[in-house]
Amino acid sequence: MCSLFQKNKAYTRMFIEMKKKYIKYGKLSGKIFLENLSEAECSALSAVLGRSLLPGDFSISVSQLQAALNETKYCGVELEALVEKYFNEKILSNSQKRDERTELNKRFWDAVLHEAGSRFGKDAKGILWLNEMREQRKYGYQRIIREREKSRDGIKEVLMEVCNALAYLQQREGDRKENVRLAVLGAEITKNPHYFDRQNAAGRLLISALSFTYKIEEPKAQEGVLALYYMAGIAPDDISSYTTCYGIHFYEGDSEHEAYQYFIRKGEKYVLTLSNLSRLARADSSRKTVFIIENQMVFSQVCEEMRGEEYSIVCTSGQLRTASLFLIDLLLKSGCKLYYCGDIDPEGIEIADRVIARGSGQIFPWRMTREDYYRSISKDILAEKRLKRLGKIGNVQLRELAKLLKAEKKAGYQEQLIDLMVEDIKAVK
């Protein structure tokens, strides 16, 4: 029907402009503009319009172009149909594309939820996650959209396996004696031990699903992911996460672990990985009081001052590693009181708040008062971006400290409080 137009490249720009207009507005109307017509384009368009054209800018209304077309052998052919024939494709407007995507999206989610519901039950954690993801467009929604472009059936199967993993973990909750390794979870669910590795879509979506299940923001950093796995009963890489101790007693069953007992007798610090901790039944303090220090250098100095005396001290080394969280939980179960001291800066207060919230009534801020702040205050000016982190502090004492920090806009550091920290520890009977 339009081989004449297709063979003559002088018509190309006119058809491209008509296509753009239809895609944008869903119809051909208004005017078509062509800048700097060439001699060839003038000749080609003149044949259609029945009048001479000169090189330069050119515009014509769609109605004029349709009328001119009706004077040729294409009489009765609509411009929209001619454009589709020219490009050999069904041209959809932006609005039509959106409607089509919406319909495809609805059919996809309906199919996913129907299959998941029939396999796992309407109240399964996986179903709750899928519904939340669909309605709120979070907890992995965008990743699914991207993966769906590659393979609709492929991502649908991934979602079923993630739901399967959630059901498996839920089943283990009641009688869980130890965490299941991530590779074992993959092999158990799919026969592929690497299926839920973080670099795979299934691994990332499992993290999204667990984040929804435990009502936390989806973690991006390694330690946040490890902490999430720990909450869910999954054992990932368990040697890169560690914590450092002094004077903490560890038990295998009813017997004290000889290796750590030896460190205590020698007055030495010792490092435990998450792997070490996962094999221990209990952690305790002879005085039922444990001091937790964020800063490694401060921890080392305090331990030197304590050498030969049995006090219990833990170092978290900045951001909370999963091993530190694991140890804190063990100490809480033993009825210990924990005192946490961090730098008085936005990050330090934020971490302290998280630690204290973990053990209601058993964990307390330590050396993080107004007086301690002014003793440790530095000349470092805090950026507003960092100060914004202080907007959601839960602990009352730390919230007051956060207000002070916002007013002064300067950080306080633990190094200035070492002597006072040593006095506090030695005062414990």
- Return the C-alpha torsion angle 195, 197, 198, 203, nearest 10: 30
Taking CB atoms within 8 Å and a gap of at least 24, the contacts of 300-307 are 300/269, 301/418, 302/418, 302/421, 302/422, 302/425, 303/246, 303/269, 305/418, 305/422, 306/246, 306/247, 306/267, 306/422, 306/425, 306/426, 307/267
133: Cβ contacts below 8 Å, ≥ 6 apart: 139, 140, 141, 144, 208, 212
- How far is the C-alpha of 232 from the C-alpha of 240, rounded, in Å? 19
Is the CB of residue 366 less than 8 Å from the CB of residue 319? no
Whether residue 19 has pLDDT greater than 90: no
Whether residue 346 has pLDDT greater than 90: yes
Predicted TM-score (pTM) of the model is: 0.59
Whether residue 236 has pLDDT greater than 70: no
Token code pair at residue 342:
């961090």
- DSSP-assigned states of every residue in 385-418: HHHGGGGG--SHHHHHHHHHHHHH-EEE-GGGGH
The residue behind tokens 């390794």 is 181
Question: What is the pLDDT confidence band of residue 181, given thresholds at 50, 70 and 90?
Answer: confident
Q: Which of 104-113, 135-144, 223-232, 285-294 has the lowest mean pLDDT?
A: 223-232
Whether residue 235 has pLDDT greater than 80: no
Instruction: Give pLDDT, residue 177.
Output: 58
Of 78 and 212, the one with more pLDDT: 212
**Mean pLDDT value of segment 327-339:** 95
The residue behind tokens 């330690």 is 223
Per-residue pLDDT tens over the stretch 351-398: 999 899 988 789 999 999 999 999 999 988 899 999 998 988 999 999
245: Cβ contacts below 8 Å, ≥ 6 apart: 260, 269, 270, 271, 272, 312, 313, 314, 315, 327
Whether residue 408 has pLDDT greater than 90: yes
DSSP count for the chain of H helices, then E strands: 21, 15
Question: What is the pLDDT confidence band of residue 82, given thresholds at 50, 70 and 90?
Answer: confident
Whether residue 107 has pLDDT greater than 80: yes
Instruction: Give pLDDT, residue 328.
Output: 94
- How far is the C-alpha of 335 from the C-alpha of 40, rounded, in Å? 90
**Mean pLDDT value of segment 172-179:** 68
Q: What is the Rg, in whole angstroms, of the alpha carbon atoms belonging to the chain? A: 34
Whether residue 1 has pLDDT greater than 60: no
C-alpha pair distances (Å), 390 with each of 9, 11, 12, 53, 106: 64, 63, 59, 69, 40
Question: What is the pLDDT confidence band of residue 128, given thresholds at 50, 70 and 90?
Answer: very high
DSSP letter for 23, please.
H
Provide the mean pLDDT of the chain.
Answer: 88
Of 312 and 145, the one with more pLDDT: 312
Q: Which of 49-58, 93-102, 116-125, 268-277 has the lowest mean pLDDT?
A: 93-102
Q: Which domains does the chain possess?
A: 3-91 (no CATH), 95-235 (no CATH), 242-426 (3.40.1360.10)
**Mean pLDDT value of segment 144-162:** 88
**Mean pLDDT value of segment 65-88:** 80
Of 72 and 195, the one with more pLDDT: 195
Instruction: Give pLDDT, residue 238.
Output: 61
Whether residue 176 has pLDDT greater than 80: no
Question: What is the pLDDT confidence band of residue 339, given thresholds at 50, 70 and 90?
Answer: very high
Whether residue 59 has pLDDT greater than 80: yes
C-alpha pair distances (Å), 361 with each of 313, 338, 398: 19, 10, 15
Q: Which of 28-42, 182-196, 250-264 has the lowest mean pLDDT?
A: 28-42
Of 255 and 25, the one with more pLDDT: 255
Instruction: Give pLDDT, residue 294.
Output: 93
Per-residue pLDDT tens over the stretch 263-301: 999 999 999 988 888 788 999 999 999 999 999 999 999
Share of the chain above pLDDT 90, in %: 45
